[in-house]
Amino acid sequence: MDNDFFLDYAEIIKTVQNAEVVTFRFVIVNQRLLIDNRHSEIDPPLVRLVPRATSVEERFRSLKKLRPRFRLPDKISAIWWPKFVDSMVQRGIWEAIVGRIEHAGFPQAAQECAGVLEELRALERQEVRNAVLGESYQALWEK
């Protein structure tokens, strides 16, 4: 899965470093990675796995529920990630996510990103396992 698609990693890192709000869509994980870099004295930046939204409007509504003290952003940058989760780490994407939060002065929030990454890895492993075992999948050919 990791070798099939060209991605401009430098552009993705630039987006992570500059955008207010970013979501990552994954191929086999139904959850989305939401990164909200906005912060205040009360609210640190947010990195969290969230359910898939059925529309842009739904994503904005869900963001408002998660972050009621913030105005809605002008836009949410969406990045399609057609590779394994660990390739985000290998290509420096995850480091850019955590680094931006650390640089903003929120070391605790940056440390919490490790838990989000582990959850994302676990979801991916479970989905691969389900596919191999045929759980929640329909076989095209039966033995």
Residues 113-129 pLDDT 10s: 999 999 999 999 998 88
Confidence of residue 132 (pLDDT cuts 50, 70, 90): confident
The per-residue pLDDT for range 46-86, each reduced to its tens digit, is: 999 999 999 999 999 999 999 999 999 999 999 999 999 99
CA–CA gap between residue 109 and residue 76 (Å, rounded): 20
CA atoms within 13 A on the CB side of 60: 9
Residue 2: per-residue pLDDT: 53
Quick one: average pLDDT of 127-137?
80
Residue 67: partners with Cβ closer than 8 Å, 6 or more residues away: 36, 38, 43, 46
pLDDT on residue 134: 76
CA-based end-to-end distance of the chain: 26
Q: In the chain, what are the domain boundaries?
A: 9-133
